[in-house]
Amino acid sequence: MPKIKMYGFWRSAAAFRVRIALNLKGLAFEEEMINIDVGDQHTPDYLALNPQAAVPSVIIDGAPPLTQSLAILEYLDETYPTPPLLPSDARGRARVRSLALLFAADHHPLITPRIRRYLAEEMHQDEAARTAWIRHWFREGLATAEARLAGDPATGRFCHGDTPTIADLCLISQAAGARVFKVEFGDLPTVGRIVETCLAHDAFARAHPLRQPGAPLTH
Ligand SMILES: N[C@@H](CCC(=O)N[C@@H](CS)C(=O)NCC(=O)O)C(=O)O
What gap in Å lies between CA 73 and CA 71, rounded to an integer? Answer: 5
Single-letter amino acid code for the residue at 28: A
Residues with CB under 6 A from ligand 1: 12-14, 36, 41, 53-55, 68-70, 104, 112-114
Residue 85's pLDDT is what? 98
Q: What is the DSSP letter of 101?
A: H
Which residue has its alpha carbon closest to ligand 1 atom 5? 54
**Candidate from 69, 103, 173 with most ligand 1 atoms within 8 A of CB, to mutate:** 69
Q: Which one, of 165, 173, 171, lies nearest residue 14 by Cα?
A: 173
Q: State the DSSP string of 130-172.
A: HHHHHHHHHHHHHHHHHHHHTT-TTB-SSSSBTS--HHHHHHH
Residue 217's pLDDT is what? 73
What gap in Å lies between CA 175 and CA 168, rounded to an integer? Answer: 10
Domain coordinates in residue numbering, the chain: 4-79, 90-211
Single-letter amino acid code for the residue at 99: L
Residue 216's pLDDT is what? 87
Q: For 90-211, CATH number?
A: 1.20.1050.10
* CATH label, 4-79, candidates 3.40.30.10, 3.40.50.620, 3.90.550.10, 3.40.50.300: 3.40.30.10
Per-residue pLDDT of the chain (219 residues; tens, 9 = 90+): 999 999 999 999 999 999 999 999 999 999 999 999 999 999 999 999 999 999 999 999 999 999 999 999 999 999 999 999 999 999 999 999 999 999 999 999 999 999 999 999 999 999 999 999 999 999 999 999 999 999 999 999 999 999 999 999 999 999 999 999 999 999 999 999 999 999 999 999 999 999 999 998 754
What gap in Å lies between CA 146 and CA 190, rounded to an integer? Answer: 6
Residue 219's pLDDT is what? 46
Residue 128's pLDDT is what? 97
What's the gap in Å between 113 CA and the centre of ligand 1?
8
Put the strands of the sheet holding 57-60 in their side by side order. 30-33, 4-8, 57-60, 66-67
